[in-house]
Chains A and B, each alone.
Chain A
Amino acid sequence: AIETPFFAERVATGKLPAIDQRLPEQPRVLDMQSMGRIPGKPGGTWRMLMGDQRDLRMVTLYSYARLVVFDEKLQLVPDILESFEDQDDKVFTFHLRKGHKWSDGQPFTAEDFRYYWEDVALNPKLSPTGPNVALLANGQKPKFEIIDPETIRFTWDTPNPAFLPSLAASQPVYIFMPAHYLKQFNPRYAGKDDLAKKIKDAHVKDWSALHERMSRQYRPENPELPTLEPWRNTTPPPADFFVFERNPFYHRVDENGRQLPYIDKIAMMLGTTNLIPAKVASGEADLQARYINFEDYTFLKHAEQANNYQVELWQQGYGARAALMPNLNAADPIWRKILRDVRFRRALSLGINRRDINRVLFFGLARESGNTVLPESPLYKQSYADAYTNYDPAEANRLLDLVGLDKRDGEGFRLLPDGRRADIVIETAENDTVDTDILELVGDDFAKLGIRIFNHPSQRDAFRQRIFSGQVIMSMAEGLDNAVPTEKFEPDALAPSAESQFQWSRWGLYFESGGSQGEAVDMPEPQHLLDLLHDWRHSTSDAQRKTIWDEMLSINADQVYTIGIVNGTQQPVVVDGNMRNVPKSALFSFEPGSFFGIYMPDTFWYDVKSE
């Protein structure tokens, strides 16, 4: 392997072992050529602009180093793991890379998994609600075994098909922790006085708080916490400027034997998000998509030449850029009855002039579609996207008359059966101009159906609380988060399985809480969806999973639980003129893909002639 210039001095002075000692015996070798990429040279800093300290997790997302990862074709491949074995989704055996080390040079072994499982997941102080749900199959904990320092095994009695995807998720379930580092915060291992002093210095209440704070892996706030990611944070918070440095012990190399990542440093600058487009346009970021919107494209494009960058348009991965979500659990009984009538939902969907919206707001570049999977997904069918998305106000009006909204007032607006005007307050989270504009246009369309709508944006949190309590009749939000799934992904978003599903949040809560809160599903189709979800969880073959997915998608399309407006909208991505290996066009989504993560930013590099 070739030594990285960044470390040359430290290696020379003996502060760091040489490259061959740092890499695992079997590093993960990426063959750039076969991936259609160019092998590069190390160096440079990736400047990115972020909003607040929470965005530190973007580096974890962009890095996308997981035990197993999805490749660009959404196939699961080992990454940190050297390999894994999966028997009927019940028994999982993981093989670590021999000689793999944490960023502080300490070996990464089975002990790190044991520490997590025994000392964190099963510790009632650190995990008051028990281990993460991904580690439970049918509510049961697995059997955890250490076969040897490089091999571990999880065993369940029933299938747990969600286990591996959850490890590869953008926000992964961490089932290992740097034990050697964290033991100093755990009274089981640490000296009492030593720990007491640490607790006092950190101004925390007890060891669990200290442990909790020091062990955040997803949001790398603690510069001392050893990591396996390509870059490690070097700036203690609070700060407005975080610098990440390359991990000398990172496990990936290119075909030439150069240790990845190519880019030495990440400089993350925090600030007001509204200013980010302007700052990007003045050349203050090297690769940026977050906090840039479609409307900024023109502005960014105009400064392309002057500041030597390119603006690419990637495709957003939502099931819908915006979808109306009639609340089937609305507290108002009259409204609930109407909202649950499929004809009403279909009528609203037919009443939206999607073409107009697409033309006015998205330059016709979006797809007029229901809230469903994208064509990029193997599960896509045209019929899902097209269901009730043609503009047919006459049919819409006919349907509305049928559902009992046939009476109108003097101004021609429809009345509810109890005589109230059928005004709909559509609530949204935060103040997003695009949302406002969409609703403005939808409002004009609905006015033709004799229904007036009002937009009420509120703080995201308050907004959700209102939905959860059933006060909201209809909301608008993004559609499916993961709109390019394969059958291996859990189809939970299609069934009432979570409180955060705004069309049926109380049913979702019922499911989530195991029946202790919320309301039981009392409509046949949603119940069927739930059954299908249950089937998927116990499924054992991909074929079976695919049929379940198909059925759930078609029920959702037919029942129009959420009224998608457009999807496939564009996400501008600004790339520095000298940065190589960044795809021209790709899918930009959190799940799957970790935004840039799936395209492996550790393979991006700066092509600077002079150097």
Chain B
Amino acid sequence: MSETPDILRVNQLRISFQLQRGALDVVRGVSFRVPLGKTVALVGESGSGKTVISQAIMGLLPKAGSISGGQILFDDPLKVDGGEPVDIARLPRDGREIRHLRGGRIGMIFQEPMSSLSPVHTIGNQIEEALRLHRPIKAGEGRSITEAMLEMVGFKNPHRAYRQYAFELSGGLRQRAMLAMALICHPALLIADEPTTALDVTIQAQVLNLMRSLQSDLGMSILLITHDLGVVANMADEVVVIYHGEIMEAGSANDIFRHPQHPYLKALLAALPHFDMKPGERLTALRDTSGDLAPVMTSRRQTLAEQTSTAQPSTPILAVNNLRKTYPGKRSGILGKRAERVVAVSDVSFEIKRGECLGLVGESGSGKTSIGKLIMRAIKADSGSVVFNNGSGPVDVLALHGPAGRRFRTAIQMIFQDPVSSLSPRMTVLNIIREPLEIHNQGSPSEQTARVADLMSAVGLDRRFLNRYPHSFSGGQRQRIGIARALALDPELIICDEPVSALDVSVQAQVLNLLKDLQRELGLTYLFISHNLAVVDYIAQRIAVLANGRIVEIAPRGVLFRSPAHSYTQALLKAVPFPDLDHPLDFTSVALRGASNPKNWAPQFQDEGDPASLTPIDLGQGHIVLARATIDRKELVA
């Protein structure tokens, strides 16, 4: 081990941003290395400068940012012997040398895959472009290599995917497209900035496995930036912990996980949600913000008390029945025949009671976001109904309009999966968070501003960020802006689409605690979509598992995790990576590939071509599983 040279050495790197008023030092003297063929994980609080460092390595800092000191030495293993390592910090922007490195020698996966793809080019085109640029390939070969790559990152139908556009893909699929783009050139160094946030655990395991095998086959080195300590434990050889642009602790994975020393690292590890938490147990966040919470909540306590007394506790606040949504397929060529429609959501029914949190997990691309959007009426359902009842009688959401529709909008809010594109790029954070208040005329302008400031601190953001524009934030910060906005109106139901995927565990703990407090104090209801099963386990009372657009299993959290009935649920649970060096994920044995493919499921869950042959079967205790009607219940529990 000690013989491997370092492919990347970052020495005393300092990066600052030029802001309206003065400079902002974001990275303050960071040094670390990436040894050849190894994986180094960069972990740290949201906004601590991880992404900025990776941008600096690629020479892609935004206009406002500049390297104010230090070196980034890249030692290309392919270089002829004796060549000095290049200092990327000194290369001219967009010059020939740096262009050669980018993509070809250093690949990068961006943190926000959703908005990083061109909206007007097919993903195949964009991936193949990178390939052609850096790998000598024969004419006509490009497409097949690209499709093979797409398949490797988990596209079920790579041929079709090649011709799809970014907006036709779910968040996870887009992330996989980005992965494919970065990996297709076989770079010597891969910088993966949160490469798996939008992926469910089975796909995540598959992707991680792919990275590992490329690493061993090609000697690729990886700089892995992630919040998921489970991933870190399973992937990293060395770990660097960063906080506020400075390194707090660095060492081998062993050192970090077994002998954490710095208070920050200790706090991080303590903030992790784990599966055996007692009901009501709170996560320990680095900063406790329950004090900041008071002003956020008081505003509605009063009205709430009256409401809860009138509403019967048993009536669900939201009932979804037989929801179905298909997207039009694509034609081949201009005049070609229309391909099959994509069924995104099929025959989905569930209920959420007031004050409850329903977790929604499932494979990436299985239709979770679509369900959220259907409930919000952001897209039109093909069939089915959504009934909302906040005590003043049931309303059919799909038929709402006029003032009732307006009232509905204040009662239900959504946190978007993609924080980048859901924030107007030309509005300051202040205006973004204040907007719902303005729309619904709540309070005077100064009251609104005050409330915005309170919300900001509740989600752990500095008030000084208020007049910055969304693009100048880190991924996690943006996500929190989205959360603050959703909370602004005191809604009764929030649809949270991956609300904490970009947050480090301590901030995640802070936000989860906030959500939980709100739920308890205000009776807030959530539909919580997440890939992080530990998070879902912590926050949700009941969990629904979605596969291929259908709910395959739904159960209270304890039941689901203790005795999962469906093959898919079982596969999911097996694929969860633990932040524990003693429980490494078995990448080889787990039947990761195609966990969502019904063919790999137990026969009682296969529909054999007729979707109607499957029905929800009640196993008691609210545990329902989708299986063949003819099957005996015993068989399912076994």
A and B touch in the complex (CB under 8 A): no
Binding site for A on B (CB under 8 A): none
